Amino acid sequence: MPVKGSTASGPLLAVRNLTKLFGSFAACNAIDLQIESGEIHALLGENGAGKSTLVKMLFGVLAPTAGEILWKGDAVRIASPGDARKLGIGMVFQHFSLFEALTVAENIALSMDRNVSLGRVAEEASRLSRAYGLPLDPKAHVADLSVGERQRIEIVRALLQNPQLIILDEPTSVLTPQEADRLFETLYKLKAEGRSVLYISHRLEEVQRLCDRATVLRHGQVTGACDPRAETPASLARMMVGSEVAAVTPEGTNTKGAVQLEVRHLSVAARTPFAVSLKNVSLKVRAGEVLAIAGVAGNGQSELFDALSGEYPVADDNAVHIRQTPVGTKGINARRLMGAGFVPEERHGHAAVSALPLSDNLVLARNQSDRRAFLGGGFLKVIRQDAVKAATRRISENMDVRKSGDDPPAASLSGGNLQKFIVGRELDREPSVLVVNQPTWGVDAGAASRIRRALVDLAKAGSAVLVISQDLDEIFEVATEIAVISDGRLSDAYPARELSREKIGLLMGGLHGLTEGAGAAHAH
């Protein structure tokens, strides 16, 4: 599809002195940026650096406080996503906006001109999906599709608007390596047609591979620009955070003790029409081990976490053992009393109550035994606020949690800083078993390094750590053993050093018979 109205001279898009204030806080402060026609431009920065605010202004979700946006040299006002699309700007958000009960074509039609028939939408979507190597069945229901296929819907929906600039926010965070390679081929094709891509990612290796230029934001300001191909992941991370980012390695976690967490032939029926059933899942984690479970989102990770944590106890007490004791039918408090800790995927509303201060969130996450350190007052026990505040400060210092005050509401912290506090809250209990679901989801390089280092150190100290993650970089950084979950089935666990990204990708796609070149199933 040809690009309409592309400009031969000058940048396709430029912003000058673009500023967005929330009260007195400058989320974006006098940002200058330009994107040329036919380039893939990376936008890098820590959580809270201003990336999301900037692209929301470009796509008409937020109105700038000051500055201007230039499109092909002309100042424009983008008051809504509709205005952005009319100019030629498309966006694929990190969190998809799809209705699972509708078909692919019906979801795409919701964002199209109402005069276009559903049949025409299906025909155009099918043609575009073939042309760009993004195979889709317009008649398929979204609920039946993988996460990678759902992302294709969002990209095809954007391409149907014939955009000249496409903004992609963390596009590979839910993809297998093979799906990511296919996406990159699509982006190269768009570039060859003269289209431009603004690419937001924490995965610095793919930024190096894919992008022509990079602009770095820190604290709402542009702090640098570079050719990422001339940099290293370490130097890009240093530009983002302003200091060296420590490398993490699981080496030294090889001293293994007794089995601390065991799952025996766990099967759980799906609780909702869109959930995944767990099918005969078995695993063991010993003291000193980090077992990482890889997989594309929506393959049973949440259901497995719920069964391990006791948030949804299972019918068979022997299906889950913590420290050699069957706990399958027991709830989360009973499991915590046995020395287990849990960090769920969703920070707000699940791991933390957004409106409450950090100290209250700390107390809520403690069981009765843990709370004794916070109680005083003789017969009528009361919470000693000084002890709670001291523990809150200790956790914040240990995990480098950056916050606006001594004890602010959880909602006031950036995603990365809240995640550091939640992980630190569990580590402060010194658990014998720790289960973490997506430990660094949407977290910048500095915060991710801090969290991963803490998980590895916990295992080195003799705890059993189970990490559920979609991030292969993370998995290779922390894991001593790796298993893969696909459609509710868990593969055997393999020593991390024996698995390549390609082999993990095959397992993520459901090839559970993988043995060649990966070693026999690891005997725990």
State pLDDT tens for residues 325-372.
Answer: 999 999 999 999 999 999 998 888 889 998 999 999 998 888 766 666
Q: Is the dihedral of CA 469, 474, 479, 483 positive or negative?
A: positive
Q: Please tell me the predicted confidence (pLDDT) of residue 443.
A: 74
Pairing mode, if any, of strands 464-468 and 433-437?
parallel
Indicate the pLDDT class of residue 381, thresholds 50, 70 and 90: low
pTM for the full predicted model? 0.69
pLDDT above 80 for 137: yes
Indicate the pLDDT class of residue 511, thresholds 50, 70 and 90: low
pLDDT above 90 for 254: no
Q: Please tell me the predicted confidence (pLDDT) of residue 447.
A: 80
Q: Which CATH number fits domain 13-88+162-241: 3.80.30.20, 3.40.1390.10, 3.40.50.300, 2.40.170.20?
A: 3.40.50.300
Tokens 């027991």 -> residue? 330
- Helix (H) / strand (E) element for 102: namely none
d(CA 113, CA 124): 13
Residue type, 364: L
Are 452 and 445 a contacting pair, CB within 8 Å? no
pLDDT above 60 for 523: no
CB under 8 Å to 376, separation ≥6 — which residues? 382, 384, 387
27-41: average pLDDT: 95
Q: Please tell me the predicted confidence (pLDDT) of residue 441.
A: 78
Indicate the pLDDT class of residue 483, thresholds 50, 70 and 90: very high
Higher confidence at residue 108 or residue 369?
108
Phi, psi of 230 (to 5 degrees): -95, 0
Q: Please tell me the predicted confidence (pLDDT) of residue 2.
A: 40
Which segments of 409-473 are extended strands (E)?
433-437, 464-468
H runs (alpha helix) in 43-176: 51-58, 81-87, 104-109, 118-131, 147-159
Pairing mode, if any, of strands 375-376 and 382-383?
antiparallel
Distance set, CA 11 to CA 14, 70, 162, 165, 256 (Å) = 6, 9, 18, 11, 57
pLDDT above 90 for 377: no
Could you give the strand order of the β-sheet that contains 196-200, starting from the edge strand earlier in sequence?
A: 89-92, 165-169, 196-200, 40-45, 213-218, 221-226
Higher confidence at residue 29 or residue 96?
29
127-155: average pLDDT: 85
Domain locations in the chain as residue ranges? 13-88+162-241, 259-508
Indicate the pLDDT class of residue 4, thresholds 50, 70 and 90: very low
Residue type, 80: S
Comparing 7-11, 177-181, 305-309, 466-470, which segment has the lowest mean pLDDT? 7-11
pLDDT above 50 for 517: no
398-419: average pLDDT: 85
Compute the mean pLDDT over every residue in the chain, rounded to the nearest whole number.
86
183-189: average pLDDT: 91
pLDDT above 50 for 303: yes
Residue type, 309: S
Q: Please tell me the predicted confidence (pLDDT) of residue 182.
A: 85
Q: Please tell me the predicted confidence (pLDDT) of residue 67.
A: 96
Higher confidence at residue 242 or residue 313?
313
488-503: average pLDDT: 90
pLDDT above 90 for 16: yes
Higher confidence at residue 340 or residue 252?
340
In terms of C-beta density within 10 A (0-12 exposed, 13-18 middle, 19 or more buried), how is residue 291 classed? buried
d(CA 206, CA 203): 6
Q: Is 259-508 the same fold as 13-88+162-241?
A: yes
Q: Kindly report, residue by residue over 191-235, the tens digit of the pLDDT.
A: 999 999 999 988 888 899 999 999 999 889 999 899 999 998 888
pLDDT above 90 for 148: no
Q: Please tell me the predicted confidence (pLDDT) of residue 513.
A: 47
Q: Please tell me the predicted confidence (pLDDT) of residue 248.
A: 67
Are 31 and 19 a contacting pair, CB within 8 Å? yes
pLDDT above 90 for 247: no
Indicate the pLDDT class of residue 380, thresholds 50, 70 and 90: very low
- Helix (H) / strand (E) element for 73: namely none
pLDDT above 50 for 499: yes
414-443: average pLDDT: 89
Q: Please tell me the predicted confidence (pLDDT) of residue 489.
A: 94
- In this structure, whether the domain defined by 259-508 belongs to CATH 2.40.50.140 is answered with no
Q: Other C-beta atoms within 10 Å of 224: how many?
A: 13
75-97: average pLDDT: 90
pLDDT above 80 for 406: yes
Portion of the chain with pLDDT greater than 90, in percent: 51
